[in-house]
Amino acid sequence: MIGSRFLCILAGLGAVTVLVAAVRPLVQDMEMPQPTAEHKHILAGVGEWEGTLTMYMPGMPASAVPAHETVTPVGEFWIQSRFTCDFMGQPYLGTGTHGYDVNKKKYVSTWADSMSSHMSLMEGNVDPKTKALVMHWEAPGMSGGMEKHRSETVHADNSYTMTFFTGEGEGTKSMVIDMKRKGGKTSEAGAPKK
């Protein structure tokens, strides 16, 4: 009984060895994807950012609160953001990934935060006229139901402004994030210049 199990194990290991030997040349010849101009543009956002978040709510004065963001690369295709601020009197932590899907030909993002159980999935493109990155998604609104959301982000070398809108069509402006990079410029590949 033990001998037959041992023979089965040996036969199985032999089959795995043959399979690995057959697949290895295919994997070695496989061309790895290369980052596009869109990926390099995304990686230019790597760094430490400081600025403000301003909420716009009906019947309430707009007020800005300090905000901080750390953006790190995930290889050559993605960035990950960790965003903190004081949101409506509560500590807020949000995190997301941002990249470019070459098959969809769209920028794609995820977002999850400390104030909701909902994870947002966003898609969008750069508006050729305004040069703003326009992202669309659905998420819970102030009413508790799902609402359409849009952000428009305008980048400069060491700053960006992200304006958020809620609702159908043009929507209503709900928030603005203004950030400046700490420590200066980055190279095209996203590594900080000294």
CA distance 99 to 41: 10
Which range of residues forms the domain containing residue 176? 37-181
Domain identity same for 1 and 50: no
Claim to verify: residue 104 and residue 55 sit in the same structural domain: yes
- Range of weakest confidence among 22-26, 57-61, 112-116: 22-26
Q: Which residues pair with 124 in a beta bridge?
A: 107, 135
Q: Give the whole-angstrom CA distance, residue 99 versus residue 78.
A: 5
What pLDDT score does 63 carry?
A: 84
Q: What is the DSSP string of 75-86?
A: TTTEEEEEEEEE
How far, in Å, CA of 53 to CA of 66, rounded? 6
Q: Give the type of residue at 97.
A: T
pLDDT higher than 50, residue 188? no
Query: In terms of domains, do 10 and 104 share one?
Result: no
Q: What is the pLDDT of residues 18-58, one digit of tens each?
A: 555 655 665 566 778 899 999 999 999 999 999 999 999 88
- 46 or 192, higher pLDDT: 46
Q: Are residues 84 and 177 in the same domain?
A: yes
CA–CA distance, 57 with 168 (Å, rounded to integer): 17
Domain with residue 137: its CATH number is 2.40.128.20
Question: 97 and 13 share a domain?
Answer: no
Give the amino acid at 186: T
Domain count, the chain: 2
